[in-house]
Amino acid sequence: MTTRPRSLGTTALALRLHALRGTTTYFAYLAPRAAIARTLAELRDDLDAYADDEGPITIADASSAGAAVLLDETCPAAADFFLLDVGAYQEADWRILDRRRSEFARTGVTVLVMTPDSFDAIMRVAPNLASWLGGNVLCHDDPALAPGQRERSLAGLREWSGKTDKEVLREAQEGRLPRDPEYAEWLMLLGRGDLLDG
């Protein structure tokens, strides 16, 4: 049985990434090849919208040059967010990154935007690199295509935490809400992003 990664729009992903700022975290964000450039631009805009004193956001198109060039020329040592188009990566690219993963290691949040086929390749031939992703594999969700996504996301968050919307709002207002990215997403879905700084 194959499980489809959870769908998440760029705004919700940006909230999650913002909450993880300062950590070393790797995400795979799956999108159709034709939508990758637009997805990267939307994600950058959404990260910029939540920016206060954040460090740089680096976007790189590594698809045309390949993994070796990425490692030799593109990978930034210092960027809070590194958004990377690897949509055209094939098995050979993933093998290079897997073998030379210590050169790819960096502090900050790294988002590998790729096609589902490219993700299948990483899972087949780059087990060490795939382990860095853990459960951080999400599918781009175009809100215009999924009108019921907000309620499905809220239902998933309620099930995950065992809490109601009212409990989450009360804890946020009292300053007792955990700082997990899921709660930031929850507040945004409820239209109460103003409580994130409280």
Confidence at residue 57, expressed as pLDDT on a 0 to 100 scale: 79
Q: State how far the Cα of 25 lies from the Cα of 29, in Å rounded to an integer.
A: 13
Class of domain 6-143: alpha beta
Residue 139: phi, psi to the nearest 5?
A: -105, 140
Residues 6+ apart with CB under 8 A from 188: 11, 12, 15, 196
Q: Is the pTM of this model over 0.75?
A: no
Instruction: Read off the pLDDT of each residue in 134-147 and give the average, rounded to a whole number.
Output: 71
Please write the tens of the pLDDT for every residue from 62-91. Answer: 777 778 777 877 666 667 888 989 988 889
Helix axes 165-173, 149-161, angle to 10 degrees: 70
Structural domain boundaries in the chain: 6-143, 149-197
Strand (E) or helix (H) holding 80: strand 78-85
